[in-house]
């Protein structure tokens, strides 16, 4: 028998079978005004709804532009917020893939979920996003939202955490946005030319060809945020510079957005040299995972850990610490990071 149309977002609770709050069950009905978004919202063969069901342990029934959700009270509330956030993401022209849904589910435990997706909480400000020529980027975790605010606010930012948390990608996106808008005149991307636990031996070619393999992740992020022809033109003109950290010595980096990636592989001397390159109207972002040091001597030689210890809390510096919970790649990447960083590792 067909269910009568339900009002928007009305929640009715069944009497709890026991005094424990965890066993309370709830049901909620949602309706969406823009029916043209429903195909993308539900996914092919309702795959997006099934993903939310499986992750949160709820039942979701779709009928027309309405969704009916049933399950444990807390799970129903989370599913409602996630589905609203998915719809809002589509409404402002953002893509919705498995990774984005997984990120929204992870964020649904945070009380600031609505603020992260829609606006700065309690401030009525614009959505937290980075606009580049190729895409508009919104945060996929609560810590990414904090990071994106720091990228606008702080002069020098330390972004610490495991792979897959968006440290370098978001920094490059913010740098591209500021370069295109004219806020800075140059974009400088750097990293130590240190091999990750293996010896590559002699590399043929000129200096650029020798160091490019180490800088490939920076190129990848750059091409994802800017059309290739613009990247090539700005590289040729010097507006974008990609170089190993050794090339920074003796320079003053003014009117520039400077990013140092894989900073855990710098020595103390290299890090001090790099930080003191800071010039007028500049911003520096220093990204790295303190637990993945590839230089001889291990953590004790890392310039990143040394710099954070000395400078955290100093005016003008921001420190963002990501964890395995902030990984926004495939969910299994987060589980891999947790396994390797566990007590027995």
Confidence at residue 22, expressed as pLDDT on a 0 to 100 scale: 44
User: Closest Cα to residue 69, out of 85, 83, 89?
Assistant: 83
Confidence at residue 13, expressed as pLDDT on a 0 to 100 scale: 42
At residue 212, does pLDDT exceed 70?
A: no
User: Closest Cα to residue 46, out of 104, 108, 109, 101?
Assistant: 101
Check if the beta carbon of residue 178 is closer than 8 Å to that of residue 184. Answer: yes
- Helix crossing, 47-56 with 73-91: angle to 10°? 150
Confidence band, pLDDT 50/70/90 cuts, at residue 194: low
CB atoms within 10 A of CB 144: 25
* CA count, 13 A, side-chain hemisphere, 192: 24
Confidence at residue 343, expressed as pLDDT on a 0 to 100 scale: 60
The residues, ordered by sequence, that sit 6+ positions from 114 with a Cβ below 8 Å of its Cβ are 81, 84, 85, 121
Q: If you average pLDDT over residues 265-274, what whole number do you get?
A: 91
Confidence at residue 304, expressed as pLDDT on a 0 to 100 scale: 92
Confidence band, pLDDT 50/70/90 cuts, at residue 157: very high
User: Closest Cα to residue 67, out of 89, 85, 83, 52?
Assistant: 83
Confidence at residue 256, expressed as pLDDT on a 0 to 100 scale: 94
Confidence band, pLDDT 50/70/90 cuts, at residue 14: very low
Q: Is 334 helix (H, G, I), strand (E, B) or coil?
A: helix
Confidence band, pLDDT 50/70/90 cuts, at residue 25: confident
Confidence band, pLDDT 50/70/90 cuts, at residue 320: very high
Which domains, and CATH codes, for the chain? 10-117 (3.30.1370.10), 130-340 (3.40.50.300)
Confidence band, pLDDT 50/70/90 cuts, at residue 167: very high
Tens digit of each residue's pLDDT (9 = 90 or more) over 102-129: 888 887 764 332 322 222 334 444 457 7
Quote the CA–CA distance of 253 and 266 in Å, as a whole number.
19
Confidence band, pLDDT 50/70/90 cuts, at residue 250: confident
Phi, then psi, of 176 in degrees rounded to 5: -60, -45
Cα-to-chain-centroid distance, residue 186: 23
The residues, ordered by sequence, that sit 6+ positions from 165 with a Cβ below 8 Å of its Cβ are 141, 143, 144, 322, 323, 326, 327, 328
Quote the CA–CA distance of 192 and 246 in Å, as a whole number.
8
Tens digit of each residue's pLDDT (9 = 90 or more) over 75-93: 888 888 889 889 988 998 8
Cα-to-chain-centroid distance, residue 282: 22
The 3 state secondary structure assigned to 154-198 is CCEEEEECCCCCCHHHHHHHHHHHHHHHCCCCEEEEEECCCCCCC
pTM of the model as a whole: 0.63
Confidence at residue 246, expressed as pLDDT on a 0 to 100 scale: 82
Quote the CA–CA distance of 239 and 241 in Å, as a whole number.
7
Confidence at residue 72, expressed as pLDDT on a 0 to 100 scale: 79
Q: If you average pLDDT over residues 215-221, what whole number do you get?
A: 81
> Which residues share a beta bridge with 60?
69
CB atoms within 10 A of CB 20: 8
Confidence at residue 171, expressed as pLDDT on a 0 to 100 scale: 93
More confident residue, 319 or 182: 319
Confidence at residue 131, expressed as pLDDT on a 0 to 100 scale: 73
Q: If you average pLDDT over residues 150-177, what whole number do you get?
A: 91
> What DSSP character marks residue 17?
S
More confident residue, 324 or 311: 311
């Amino acid at each position: 028998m067909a269910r009568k149309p339900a009002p928007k977002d009305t929640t009715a609770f069944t009497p709890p079978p026991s005094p424990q709050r965890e066993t309370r069950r709830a049901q909620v009905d949602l309706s969406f005004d823009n029916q043209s978004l429903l195909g993308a919202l539900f996914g092919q063969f309702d795959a997006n709804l099934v993903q939310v069901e499986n992750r949160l342990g709820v039942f979701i029934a779709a009928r027309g532009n309405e969704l009916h959700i049933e399950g444990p009270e807390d799970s129903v509330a989370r599913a409602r917020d996630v589905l609203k956030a998915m719809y809002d993401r589509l409404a402002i022209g953002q893509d919705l893939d498995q990774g984005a849904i997984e990120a929204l589910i992870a964020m649904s435990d945070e009380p600031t979920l609505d603020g992260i997706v829609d606006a700065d909480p309690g401030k009525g400000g614009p959505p937290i996003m980075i606009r580049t020529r190729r895409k508009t980027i919104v945060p996929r975790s609560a810590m990414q939202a904090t990071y994106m605010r720091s990228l606008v606010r702080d002069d020098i930012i330390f972004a610490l955490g495991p792979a897959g948390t968006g440290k370098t990608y978001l920094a490059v996106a913010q740098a591209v946005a500021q370069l295109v808008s004219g806020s800075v005149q140059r974009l400088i991307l750097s990293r130590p030319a240190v091999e990750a636990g293996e010896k590559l031996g002699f590399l043929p070619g000129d200096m650029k060809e020798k160091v490019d393999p180490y800088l490939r992740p920076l190129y990848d992020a750059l091409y994802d945020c800017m059309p290739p022809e613009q990247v090539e033109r700005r590289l040729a003109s010097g507006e974008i510079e990609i170089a190993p950290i050794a090339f920074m010595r003796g320079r003053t980096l003014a009117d520039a957005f400077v990013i140092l990636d894989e900073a855990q592989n710098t020595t103390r001397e290299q890090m001090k040299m790099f930080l003191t390159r800071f010039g007028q109207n500049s911003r520096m972002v220093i990204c790295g995972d303190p637990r993945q040091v590839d230089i001889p001597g291990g953590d004790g030689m890392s310039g990143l850990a040394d710099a954070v210890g000395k400078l955290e809390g100093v005016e003008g510096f921001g420190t963002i610490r990501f964890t395995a919970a902030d990984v926004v790649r495939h969910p299994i990447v987060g589980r891999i990071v947790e396994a390797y960083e566990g007590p027995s590792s």
